[in-house]
Chain A
Amino acid sequence: MPTFDLAINPVRDLNAALHKLPADTNETLWTVSNPGGEHAIAVGVDAPLTINVDGNVGYYCGGMNKQANIVIEGSAGQGVGENMMSGRIHVKGDASQSAGATARGGLLIVEGNASARCGISMKGIDIIVKGDIGHLSAFMGQNGRLIVFGEAGEALGDSLYEAHLYVRGPVASLGADCVEKELRDEHKSELIELLRAAGEAGKIDVSEFRRYGSARKLYNFNIDNVGAY
């Protein structure tokens, strides 16, 4: 089991080592010690690895991840899992702003709170935040699911496309073209499936969530809607 100590070697060496691994590598369990808030830890990985990061990370940890399961035993800086394609990132602490930005697939779990713009421009990722999320989350969200156990800040889902938003706590305000929608059985099933993937199945009554989505009124430009922007 390779252990990479960022107190001794730079992030560049870590990422280079991860990128050089052959597709059928046996070295699938990695530990990164002393991350010290470094940026761009384990970015651009494209292999079925498990990478345990033993502490806090800076910006863009796990950026553009494919396949890898990255566990951050601390808090994450801006843009954790940005543009992730697949795999899983688990933040044991809090996440700063733009968590999961533009990500296309995979699962991002934040045990604590996520800051502003969580899931901004999301394009297929599933994001589960067990705490609260900040303002302008899921802005222009195109696809994927955002599940929030706590509260959401202002302008949730502004200019939303087809992403599904589920929030259990209060929402400070909804953004342009984002509306509350009925939580039907198919959505409860979707929630149960997602919570199972996150290891939370059975712990929460999914009917406590409220569902938000696009009203689709801004999908095609209409001058009479300019007041909505």
Chain B
Amino acid sequence: MTQHERAWPATAPRKSATFDDYALSEIRRAASTGIYDIRGGGSKRRLPNFDDLLLLGASMSRYPLEGYREKCGTDVTLGTRFAKKPLKLSIPITIAGMSFGSLSANAKEALGRGASLAGTSTTTGDGGMTPEERGQSKYLVYQYLPSRYGMNPDDLRKADAIEIVIGQGAKPGGGGMLLGQKISDRVAEMRQLPKGIDQRSACRHPDWTGADDLEIKINELREITDWEKPIFLKVGASRPYYDITLAVKAGADVVVLDGMQGGTAATQEVFIEHVGIPLLSAIRPAVQALQDLGMHRKVQLIVSGGIRNGADVAKALALGADAVSIGSAALVALGDNDPVLESEYEKLHTTAGAYDDWHEGKDPAGITTQSPELTQRLDPVVAGRRLANYLKVMTLEAQTLARACGKSHLHNLEPEDLTALTIEAAAMARVPLAGTTWIPGAGVF
């Protein structure tokens, strides 16, 4: 009997769940090129996130607020601990640090314009402060990074706050690399390196090691700026309880906690997907650290990494954050990965929504590039307006949800307003699984 004559059906072809198409393509790519994959953005795999939480809303036991009549405050003040001039923002959504170099000057200007229209801050990145960005940003946070590219006391004094970057969610423990193809004359000049060479950013600061040194470093920055500027500390989410405890000890005014969904201009795929923890799992330990020290709401907590909409904002604030920060979402608002550019993404062997080779400098949207031809595609005024619109929608959405929970300010949201859809989200966010009183694994550090 031949195979075709047998009586039972042949089994369907079955692909391995372990060796899925992506894993196989990575093996083939590595074998062909001999180099690990580098890309931009944050973790792309399915992770527990804010969609796994729900707000409970008011009913018999709580009063809601009228959606269109009763006030729901959105303002936040950052840096109330030591700074003479705290940052007073209209909304609790800030723009995260992204460098001129990884982004075009037009993109940086657009971020400044959009943030200013919405009454919030934007942040420099690993490459110094550009006049366009300072000029168009009502509130500008100046990042103080290990590389110190572009760092100088004049720009430090022009800043509204200083953010010392210890790490970021996409790569806690990692430095950076801006590949040579993005090093234009202007980028090279700002970073004081020859044009066209890879610009490495160290993973450790050059003049301090550990929290005790950092305390002295923060004191120096305060002295240089006469104690005016709020000092932020940015950490990638990995051991948030201990890192936030040390940040408070070191004297931070504000802590920025970036989950593994937070984007990067470029780093190894293996780093992005396998180091750090999701934002959802990082907030409660961070808040607990602040509460244990009696510093919750005194040292403000900004969280970032995968924030997309007003629901994410409301849930992050309910877990105890004072504000959120957006990077990837802000770039999308400017025009990144827009399907309108699909034919150009196809030429780059990708598709709208998946383009992440930002380090190659070929971005058809003119955002993650230094090519003069491409950068002029982004109108900073129009793109800034789009960002402002997006920020306003997020704020309105968060207010809508907060009013439904009976809150007259976004900061009045609390963990008791939340429930979890999955056991893992319940454990990570330390809120009960929906319909139960069960918080799995609740414990203290």
Contact residues in B for A140 (Cβ distance below 8 Å)? 200, 202
B77: A residues at CB distance < 8 A? none
**What is the distance, in angstroms, from B359's C-beta to the closest C-beta of chain A?**
11
Asked if B226 and A59 sit within 8 Å, CB to CB, the answer is no
* Binary interface encoding of chain A residues 71-91 relative to chain B, with 1 for a CB under 8 A from any of its CBs, else 0: 000000011001101000000
A64–B226 Cα distance when bound, in Å, is 14
Q: A219-B197, A223-B35 are in contact. Are A15 and B192 (CB under 8 A)?
A: no
The chain A residue sitting closest to B177, CB to CB, is A221
Checking A39, A104, A123 against B220 with a beta-carbon cut-off of 8 angstroms, the contacting residue is A39
Is A102 a contact of B206 with CB atoms below 8 Å?
A: yes
CB <8 Å contact, A121 and B179: no
Measured between beta carbons, the chain B residues less than 8 angstroms from A104 are 152, 192
- In the complex, whether A107 has a CB less than 8 A from a CB of chain B is no
Contacts of B227 in A (CB 8 A): 12
Main secondary structure on chain A at its contact with chain B? loop
Minimum Cβ distance to chain A for residue B173 (Å) = 16
> Cβ of A220 and Cβ of B180 under 8 Å apart?
yes
* Contacts between chains A and B (CB distance < 8 A), count: 108
What count of chain A residues pass the 8 Å CB interface test?
A: 42
Nearest CB in chain B to that of A66: its residue: B153
The reply to whether A39 and B216 contact each other, CB–CB distance below 8 Å, is yes
Q: How far is the CA of A58 from the CA of B34 in the complex (A)?
A: 48
Interface residue SS majority, chain B: loop
A44 part of interface (Cβ distance < 8 Å):
yes
Cα A64 to Cα B179 in complex, Å, equals: 29
- Give the size of the chain B interface in residues (CB under 8 angstroms): 33
- CB neighbours (8 Å) of A159 from chain B are 200
List B residues 120-150 near A (Cβ within 8 Å): 147-148
B382 in the interface (beta carbon within 8 A): no
Cα–Cα distance between A120 and B200 once the two chains are bound (Å): 14
Complex: A82 Cα to B192 Cα, angstroms: 16
Among A39, A98, A161, which residue has its beta carbon within 8 angstroms of that of B206?
Answer: A98
A97 to B200 CA separation, bound complex (whole angstroms): 22
Could you tell me which residues of chain A, from 106 to 143, have a CB within 8 Å of some CB in chain B? 117, 120-121, 123-124, 139-140, 142-143
- List 6 additional A-B contacts (Cβ < 8 Å) besides A104-B192, A143-B192: A39-B220, A40-B220, A43-B224, A46-B153, A162-B193, A220-B180
Partner-B contacts on A (CB < 8 A): 11-12, 15-16, 19, 39-40, 43-44, 46, 58-60, 63-64, 66, 78-79, 82-83, 85, 98, 101-102, 104, 117, 120-121, 123-124, 139-140, 142-143, 159, 161-162, 219-221, 223-224
